[in-house]
Amino acid sequence: MLNATLAELASALAAKRISSVELTTLFLARIAALNGALNAFITVDEERSLADARAADALRARGEGGALTGIPIAHKDIYCTRGIRTTCGSKMLANFVSPYDAHVIERFAAAHAVLLGKTNMDEFAMGSSNETSYCGPVRNPWDLQRVPGGSSGGSAAAVAARMTPAATGTDTGGSIRQPAALAGVSGLKPTYGAVSRYGMVAFASSLDQGGPLAKSAADLALLMNAMAGHDTRDSTSIERPAEDYTRSLGRSLAGLRIGLPREYFAAGVEPDVLARVRETVAWFESQGARPVEISLANTRLAVPVYYVLALAEASSNLSRFDGVRYGHRASDPQDLLDLYRRTRAEGFGAEVKRRILIGTYVLSHGYYDAYYLQAQKVRRLITQDFVQAYRECDVIMGPTAPGTAFPIGAKAGDPVQMYLGDIFTVPASLAGLPAISVPCGFDSRGLPVGLQITGNHFAEATLLGAAHRYQQAHDWHLRVPKETPL
Amino acid sequence: MTWEIVVGIETHAQLLTKSKIFSGASTAFGAAPNTQASAVDIALPGVLPVLNRRAVELAIRFGLAVGGQISRRSIFARKNYFYPDSPKGYQISQYELPIVQGGSLTIAVGDAAKNIRLTRAHLEEDAGKSLHEDFHGMSGIDLNRAGTPLLEIVSEPDLRGAAEAVAYAKTLHVLVRGIEICDGNMQEGSFRCDANVSVRRTGETRLGTRCEIKNLNSFRFMEQAIEFEAKRQIEILESGGKIVQETRLYDPDRDETRSMRTKEDAQDYRYFPDPDLLPLVITEGMIEEVRQTMPELPGAKRSRFEQIGVPTHTATTLTSNIDMARVFDDTTLYIRADPTMTPRQQTQAIVSAANTIVTSLSSKIDDWGAAIISWPNLSKQIGQIAIRVAQGTISSVAAKEVQDAVLTSDESVDDVIQRRGLQQISDAGALETLVDEVLAANAKQVADYRAGKDKAFNSLVGQVMKATRGKANPTQVNEILRRKLER
């Protein structure tokens, strides 16, 4: 059961081979056994999870329920959950309990999924290694000395270690895809606007997008059916008819035009990663897909542009954490300024402070044009690159990250090196495009490698279909990390 | 050497929407602190703003009323600053692309009309309130007002002196109430003005260094503050000093302006487009829809009142108060519906009703509050009384008594006239006898009159009216008295 797909779990539940309470108990026990080593969960509320499970069982007993009824799902601790604290991996919100549920949480509740717990993450989703969490780093189940990626590192590690069948994450510049790649699971960042941001603690509003992490592309499709959809409470939520994300899972790969950006197969990428991705592209070609060499000429500008725009927005988004209404508050403030200064000095970690400072700087009088405005212009150029590219191809393939999981602490002292690891994930974020990362083999150390497939706006079903075909012919995604055997 | 005082006004008008500009919370004034603050208003983690379409419609309505250009695409920006009554740490406002650009307002300067250009009008959200009393050394925060929609209306520096500034503010006040986008309540802060004041030598074309004066919460304070500020600046310049650009606060108790902050301490608000809100796109269709439902503009209303015979001064007063104008319109309909009246009597009744509304009704509002305006039978009562006056049933003096009586009881107009015996005495015979009696009892005044003292005549009329408790038909009394005295 621990390694079963969502569809398998649903049919087991429907056939009464297992109850939701039993299934939930199984995963709670696995979390209890492994979380000490992995630190993938920040909060687990067994009573709440079992209550959800009992309600789902009652529903199933009446012959009701859908694809996710009674299935445990873990949520990144960035989604506001009523009754269970939402820390966002920060001391600032260490004891914050939201009085409302995020849209995504509501959707899973409506599908009668079980809320299994809240997963660890980089503080305010700011990081690519899950080392910036106030709750401590998450460890990679494939090698406990290594990072699982970030910021949705807890969700990725939890799925990889089979502590949960599936999890939610959020992706601003790669925060679903990169940890999915580094932890050997599948993760989808949907088109910007496909999943409501309501109740997701904001990092960079024009880039933040919720999405699922799971073992397989087929599972991601089922999760998307629950998560996605228009929400009037988010003005950037896109009004489109509901779609079935599973609809293309059986589609043939024949004739699929695969764009291979010159800039993604270049120096700076670890040789093992390049080799696995090339092998994977070759397999697609063997199935009738047609590789097309393309250029995304402004790729090298994507990281600097991203770090200007994302941090500008973040510096403003994080202003609300001022100690006045909720969250951490400095004790015995002398006056208002002292309250602000010490609350924020104590409540935020070093990386968050660094990003607030940079973001504040690029928006400042005299620098705005040179940084923020210029970055907006380049963002349009990067988007144009994709528009141009999708005239020649249907999807774009390449490595999700330039390397596999790195040792904890290896890049912690060098933020720029850490930021450069986002080079292949931030372009799709800047262009608002959907992108998936799926496991495509291992490097010489036995660490998972991720393949990224990027599609045009609203091409999620195409991405899921292509990835599913690949996973039907390979078992990388079903392999269980050696540190966390079943 | 003479000086010219140059003023530009920035006005924050609270828009009359039921809910806030970016949340569903109510905008009603006076609720217990923080009872009208939703998750969005208190800026919980994860919440997002959703624009209130009604606020946009009201802003368009203003733009059309002043002949401004409605931006087909405008942008909401974040104005970043830390203050406890600004829960997000930024205010959502419009910066580079406001919803309304340009336009103008015509004000009366003496007998002449002057056109005042508007720079822009933009949508933004109001802040909450800090309460600095009674919290054991701490401050309280009330976020009920946070997120209330405001239209910030900015004039060009076209105003010359305090009187023009006040005329502009009053004209704008009449307009926003007239087109029903703002209740104009200055005590509650629904209509707040700041004045940018500078001075220059007459003939100079360049603008002087300006100071922004805040806290002008009445027209009287605005006038006093601008006068004080101009005098202060002139004194500095005449003694060889320089004006420092700064924000100053008007203190009505001491009638002076005081420095709040200079340009040097001006904050860097780090404006940037709010990524939570898409650009506001306004279609031709939306503008047309707003145009169709545009209430009558104050200027048009005044001319309409004048055309039906209301004197200019009365028409202006009526127009300045949307509630009074509405009562007058209803009263007019009531009077027009009476088939027994001749057209001449109808006009007479309408003019009489207009006078009643601007004189006795406005004093009643002062005494009893504005709620009187919504009294269900008000227009009907005023109409009935005006009809009785026009028909000669009661005198205009008696009309006031009837008005007071019907407002405080359930009695009908005619019942009051009957019961109190207020019917006008128009019986010529009865009046002749009465006049004879008065002449006989006031030999001195009669003599005075005949000696050429015209004032004595009024005294005699007064005596007749007094004897009849105001019921004598004044026209007839005049006519009879004069005839008898001339003899």
Q: Which of B20, B22, B48 has the most A C-beta neighbours within 10 Å, making it the best mutation to test the interface with A?
A: B48
> Strand ranges (DSSP E) for B272-394?
272-273, 280-281
Q: Is the pLDDT of residue B125 over 70?
A: yes
CA of B49 vs chain A CAs: smallest distance (Å): 7
- Nearest chain A residue to B272 by CA distance is A363
Helix residue spans in B412-473 (DSSP H): 413-419, 428-441, 443-450, 455-467
Chain B residues 140-199 within an 8 A CB cutoff of chain A = 141
What is the rounded (10 degree) CA torsion for B109, B112, B117, B122? 60
Average pLDDT of chain B? 91
Nearest CB neighbour to A236, from listed B82, B271, B278: B278
In angstroms, the Cα distances linking B16 to B68, B93, B280 are: 20, 18, 20
Q: Which CATH architecture has domain A6-253?
A: Alpha-Beta Complex (3.90)
In angstroms, the Cα distances linking B468 to A60, A367, B438, B462 are: 92, 85, 11, 10
Specify the pLDDT at position B136: 79
Q: How far apart are CA B377 and CA A421, in angstroms?
A: 76
Cross-chain residue pair B88–A197, CB shorter than 8 Å: no
ipTM value, please give it: 0.96
Cross-chain residue pair A205–B84, CB shorter than 8 Å: no
Q: Is the pLDDT of residue B264 over 70?
A: no
Q: Which of the residues of A are catalytic? A: 76, 151, 175
Q: Which fold has domain B428-486?
A: Arc Repressor Mutant, subunit A (1.10.10)
Neighbours of B447 (CB within 10 A): 11
pLDDT digits (tens, 9 = 90+) for A108-151: 999 999 999 999 999 999 999 999 999 999 999 999 999 999 99
CA B409 distance to own-chain centroid? 30
Of the candidate ranges A81-95, B305-319, B362-376, the one whose mean pLDDT is the lowest: B362-376
Q: How far apart are CA A356 and CA A126, in angstroms?
A: 11
Model's pTM, two decimal places? 0.90
pLDDT in tens, chain A (486 residues): 899 999 999 999 999 999 999 999 999 999 999 999 999 999 999 999 999 999 999 999 999 999 999 999 999 999 999 999 999 999 999 999 999 999 999 999 999 999 999 999 999 999 999 999 999 999 999 999 999 999 999 999 999 999 999 999 999 999 999 999 999 999 999 999 999 999 999 999 999 999 999 999 999 999 999 999 999 999 999 999 999 999 999 999 999 999 999 999 988 899 999 999 999 999 999 999 999 999 999 999 999 999 999 999 999 999 999 999 999 999 999 999 999 999 999 999 999 999 999 999 999 999 999 999 999 999 999 999 999 999 999 999 999 999 999 999 999 889 888 999 999 999 999 999 999 999 999 999 999 999 999 999 999 999 999 999 999 999 999 999 989 998
Q: How far apart are CA B177 and CA A232, in angstroms?
A: 32
Percent of chain B at pLDDT exceeding 90: 60
Cross-chain residue pair A322–B84, CB shorter than 8 Å: yes
Residues of chain B with CATH 1.10.10.410: 428-486
For the four alpha carbons of B155, B157, B161 and B164, in that order, the dihedral sign comes to negative
Paired with B73 in beta bridges are B281
Cross-chain residue pair A236–B78, CB shorter than 8 Å: no
Of the candidate ranges B47-61, B366-380, B433-447, the one whose mean pLDDT is the lowest: B366-380
Q: Is the pLDDT of residue B486 over 90?
A: no
H/E stretch holding A8 reads helix A6-14
Whether B67 contacts chain A with CB within 8 A = no
Buried b (16+ CB within 10 A) or exposed e, A174-186: bbbbbbbbbbbbb
Nearest CB neighbour to B272, from listed A100, A322, A372: A372
Cross-chain residue pair B275–A372, CB shorter than 8 Å: no
pLDDT digits (tens, 9 = 90+) for A407-447: 999 998 898 889 999 999 999 999 999 999 999 999 999 99
Q: How far apart are CA A63 and CA B201, in angstroms?
A: 88
CA of B293 vs chain A CAs: smallest distance (Å): 27
Q: How far apart are CA A230 and CA A196, in angstroms?
A: 7
H/E stretch holding A220 reads helix A217-227
CA of A178 vs chain B CAs: smallest distance (Å): 23
Which residue in A396, A388, A446 sits closest to A424, CA to CA?
Answer: A396
Specify the pLDDT at position B421: 81
Cross-chain residue pair B42–A325, CB shorter than 8 Å: yes
Specify the pLDDT at position A392: 97
Q: Which of B44, B52, B85 has the most A C-beta neighbours within 10 Å, making it the best mutation to test the interface with A?
A: B44
